[in-house]
């Protein structure tokens, strides 16, 4: 489906991986490559889920893998998601109890600033 | 609605779209639809990852959806090696726990003739959720 896309932009030193549409085991390898490539170069990563309509546990596995790698190498990592808006993406994060695990920001700007400062939520969950 | 296909990554979105279309035609409420989309995706992914050994040529995956008495029933069926404890997936192991959290009830049983696995998920279409 043409609307299901993963695009990568660079904002300063931060890779912004934007997901649009539905994502699952079919697109998980593409997301894994998009997330891991910048992390391998110790560049911070922000995954923008604002326009994602669906993610499954295959995508959660990629996001958790990215977060772990970012923490191991001490680089920034964060998600962009409007937590005030009910969505299928928020739903899977809530059902799995993963909302406090990820640094979640309302806007790309906030997420980029946080990730550029090296923040990745390590040292404990935050609200 | 019944869909028979090969268990492959590109067919997982197709299975979800087919179930989405069925639910929308049946005017299933939005949150139930969202949970149904996730549950069927997880069940199909389980088939993809667990049901068949890599060298298996025939990899059937069937998805059925029906509504009766206010309950939506989804069946995801394979003809693979059956349920067991597999440590070879590299995934989070969240598929079945997610399905269990999302559906009103779930039963996992051996397929017809003892071959493969059937995951039967029921959802209350009145909008109540177990999670």
pLDDT at B7 over 50: yes
At residue A127, the pLDDT reads 42
A78 vs A110: CA distance, rounded Å: 10
Asked if A24 lies within 8 A of B12 by C-beta distance, the reply is: yes
Interface probe with A: pick from B35, B37, B103, B130, most Cβ of A within 10 Å: B37
CA end-to-end span of chain B: 26
pLDDT at A117 over 90: yes
Quote the tokens at residue A31.
């997301």
pLDDT tens, residue by residue, B33-78: 999 999 999 999 999 998 998 899 999 999 999 999 989 999 999 9
- Alpha helices by DSSP H, listed for chain A, are 28-40, 57-73, 88-95, 108-116
Indicate the residue of B34, B98, B131 with minimum beta-carbon distance to A88: B34
pTM of the predicted model, to two decimals? Answer: 0.92
At residue B88, the pLDDT reads 60
pLDDT tens, residue by residue, A36-49: 999 999 999 999 99
Confidence bin at B112 (pLDDT 50/70/90) = confident
Task: Give Cα separations from B48 to A72, A104, B40 (angstroms).
Answer: 31, 31, 12
ipTM here? 0.90
- pLDDT average, residue stretch A78-95: 92
């Amino acid at each position: 489906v043409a609307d299901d896309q993963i695009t990568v932009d660079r904002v300063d030193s931060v890779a912004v991986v934007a997901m649009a549409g539905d994502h699952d085991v079919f697109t998980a390898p593409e997301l894994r490559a998009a997330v891991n490539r910048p992390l391998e170069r110790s560049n911070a990563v922000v995954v923008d889920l604002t326009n994602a309509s669906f993610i499954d546990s295959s995508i959660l596995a990629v996001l958790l893998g990215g977060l772990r790698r970012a923490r191991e190498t001490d680089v920034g990592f964060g998600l962009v998601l409007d937590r005030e808006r009910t969505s299928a993406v928020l739903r899977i994060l809530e059902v799995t109890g993963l909302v406090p695990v990820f640094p979640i920001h309302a806007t790309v700007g906030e997420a980029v600033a946080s990730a550029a400062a090296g923040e990745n939520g390590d040292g404990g969950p935050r609200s | 609605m019944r869909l028979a296909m090969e268990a492959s990554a590109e067919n997982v979105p197709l299975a979800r779209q087919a179930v989405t279309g069925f639910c929308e035609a049946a005017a299933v409420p939005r949150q139930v639809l969202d949970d149904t989309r996730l549950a069927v995706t997880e069940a199909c992914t389980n088939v993809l990852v667990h049901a068949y050994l890599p060298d298996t040529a025939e990899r059937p995956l069937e998805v059925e959806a029906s509504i009766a008495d206010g309950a939506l029933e989804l069946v995801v069926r394979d003809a693979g090696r059956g349920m067991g404890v597999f440590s070879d997936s590299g995934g989070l192991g969240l598929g079945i726990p997610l399905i269990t959290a999302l559906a009103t009830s779930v039963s996992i049983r051996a397929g017809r003739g003892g071959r493969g696995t059937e995951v039967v998920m029921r959802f209350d279409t009145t909008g109540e959720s177990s999670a």
